Structure 1
Amino acid sequence: MPYVGVFAALSLALALVLGFLPAWSACCADFTFDEQPSKVVVRLDGVAVASFVYDDAAVGRPYWCDVRSPSGIPLTRSHPPQAPDDLDHVAMHTGLWMSFGDLSGCDYWRCKARTQQVRFLESPASHGKTGGFSVLNHYLKTDSSEVLATEKADYQFCEVPHGYRLQWSSEFRAIDKDIVFGDQEEMGLGVRMVSSLAEKRGQGGRILDSDNRVGAKQVWGEPVEWCDSSGRIHGRWIGITVMADPDNFQVSWCHARDYGLIVMNPFGRKAFSKGEESRLIVSRANPLRLNYALVFHESNSNEDYHEPDAYRDFLEQILQSQRK
């Protein structure tokens, strides 16, 4: 890193620790969207808080990366990963992603088959304290340009207490033949946390779920309403809470790992609970809809931010949307 970059990074860290930077305030912050070649950068009050990458040959699917807290502290692992972050699963664990290890026998999770963004259905648009966009994706068959399924993905941001929320809604349809979602751990909405928040680092990172289970081993394979990964960095309590819509077709099991991975997976009944194997058939006429939300939070302490309150706010937002 150039000397100027090192100095700037150290200055930011010192300012955060000593409290020289003004506290982030939702009352004066707006979302904006900076459209760049192959990606969209989301800014909150001028701070780049997330990047949506829709054309990356090395990964082969759209994804979110460089997700940060409202004041700019990294929440997801750097992409491509750089030390001191862990360097494993480079293409698979980009930050935030939705993918499937078994969709009609094709493996999109491990990047063996491609997901191609076709176009924006709704261009990135800011409405002050809210904003978002939607895209059309094609799931291509392995080693082919033939389309297996389509996905309409909608991403909507809004400000919430102690941070901001991304609501992620996807609708999947078959093209000709029915598609089948299989049963394994690597299915659904994935998050790879910045490595300094990973439990195995021993720096105070914590995983907590909606039934008050603490730790990756306790959370792994359990059905959850939400799961949170958080800890203290630069004197601030920061983290990500991943929440599932109770109206999804199935509860989501949590695939949590101590190296900073959280996956909300509604397809893994056998993989997680040793129950009957999941086999969800989706046709063109009867699409599958999945709805999740992620809260990216920052506060003075873990006592300031309450995950159950964030989940209730999400449920209230769902009810308001249904009334419209």
Structure 2
Amino acid sequence: MRNKNLVILILIIFFLPLLPTIAANDGLTPHFMEDNERIQLIQNDAERRVDVIIDGKHFTSYIYPENIAKPVLYPIKTASETFITRGYPIANRPGERVDHPHHIGLWLNYGDVNGLDFWNNSEAISPERKDRYGTILHKSIVKAVSGSKEGTLEVTMDWVDSKGNVLLTENTTFIFAGKGDKRTIDRITKLTARTDVSFTDNKEGMLGLRMARELEHPSDKPEKFTDAQGNPTDVPSMNNEGVTGKYRSSEGLEGDDVWGTRGKWMNLSGTIQGENISVAILDHPLNVGFPTYWHARGYGLYAANPLGQKAMSSGKDELNHSLKNGESTTFRHRIVVYSGKAVGDKDVEKDYKAFTK
């Protein structure tokens, strides 16, 4: 009996430290999570996704399904797992809008690259018109590293025309962090030209988020928006119950007045089922076109567009950015998701200084 107990004790001592690894490898919630893996990146090649888990809760996922025209982060949640992004067109939720099927989660692309529209491409585009649009193809996951303070995901993509010719290669690093009621996403994107490339001034760009219905602006009138190809999209009037969003820029502008203005950051605040939520996008001084113009609409499109200056400024500014074959440009942004408390200018400014120091 004494020998049997000794064997059991040895087995416990040997296997106990391995339990967190076993659980993680089996896709189970890591109940014995080590301190150095608070922020976990779980790669799932079969489902074409990388899940980001912070303190045991799902924050977001990098997804690259074959039926959408670019990889995106979708969905994005607060620290208490409240959705801040719209569900449509992947997982519709009751009461939300179903316009603009190309607005999915968080993405980065542009409306005119060598005459091709990368922004508006989706399954809604008919085959006979596809030659006018560009697609961003996921190529590889270079690195997916978990950690105690941040998780890092490095990916490569190709910006291609309808025939598969590569215009740009993209190398993007996502840095995920968060503690308490705050979450952050850094997106650092290097675009390298594989032919001479022109980003012709266009309002459809560049870093975009499509927000949950509750974070839209209340609106009592239908609207119509036309893309660069001249295609109109109707945005109908809807029930405003529970809709509480309001934009505020670093320049002190609020609401619909922020559209087409410049600012180093933007903050969108509202409540979802009593939870105070703010989502800030921070521009970086090293970005082309800094400070960015804001393509921020009350119906839920929340985008920073540093290159589309002519349409935003009513012709006062214009920027036709270009790259020679082999040249590169890098865009740096931080998205901050606050929850649980009201967030003011001082809070966002503090985080902006931390991002740009």
TM-score by length of 1: 0.82
Post-superposition offset of 1:275: 2.3
After TM superposition, the runs of 4+ consecutive aligned structure 1 residues lying more than 6 A away are: none
1:138 alignment counterpart: 158
Q: Secondary structure at the match of 1:199?
A: coil
Post-superposition offset of 1:246: 1.5
One of 265, 284, 293 as aligned partner of 2:334 = 293
Post-superposition offset of 1:310: 3.4
Q: Secondary structure at the match of 1:65?
A: strand
Post-superposition offset of 1:312: 3.2
2:182 alignment counterpart: 163
Q: Distance in 2 between matches of 1:307 and 1:296?
A: 14
Give % identity.
25
Greater Rg, structure 1 or structure 2? Answer: 2
> Given residue 99 of structure 2, which amino acid in structure 1 is its aligned partner?
D
1:217-269 alpha-carbon deviations (Å, 9 max, x no partner): 20000001111112112221013111101121212100111111111000111
Q: Distance in 1 between matches of 2:209 and 2:37?
A: 25
1:151 alignment counterpart: 170
- Unpaired runs of at least 5, structure 1: 1-26, 320-324
| 8 Å CA contact retained: 1:228, 1:239 | yes
Post-superposition offset of 1:139: 0.5
One of 23, 27, 30 as aligned partner of 2:38 = 30
Q: Distance in 2 between matches of 1:260 and 1:46?
A: 29
1:237 alignment counterpart: 276
1:20 alignment counterpart: none
TM-score by length of 2: 0.75
Q: Distance in 2 between matches of 1:184 and 1:155?
A: 26
- Unpaired runs of at least 5, structure 2: 1-34, 122-132, 219-239
Question: RMSD of aligned C-alpha atoms?
Answer: 2.0
1:262 alignment counterpart: 302
Q: Distance in 2 between matches of 1:226 and 1:34?
A: 31
Q: Secondary structure at the match of 1:224?
A: coil
1:1-49 alpha-carbon deviations (Å, 9 max, x no partner): xxxxxxxxxxxxxxxxxxxxxxxxxx99921122222111111111111
Q: Please say if 1:113 is aligned against 2:134.
A: yes
> Given residue 152 of structure 2, which amino acid in structure 1 is its aligned partner?
G
Post-superposition offset of 1:204: 2.1
1:222 alignment counterpart: 261
Q: Secondary structure at the match of 2:262?
A: strand
In the TM superposition, 1:62-211 aligns within 5 A as: 62-79=71-88, 80=90, 81-90=92-101, 92-111=102-121, 112-122=133-143, 124-141=144-161, 143-159=162-178, 162-175=181-194, 177-200=195-218, 201=240, 203-211=243-251
Post-superposition offset of 1:57: 2.6
> Given residue 45 of structure 1, which amino acid in structure 2 is its aligned partner?
D
| 8 Å CA contact retained: 2:86, 2:213 | yes
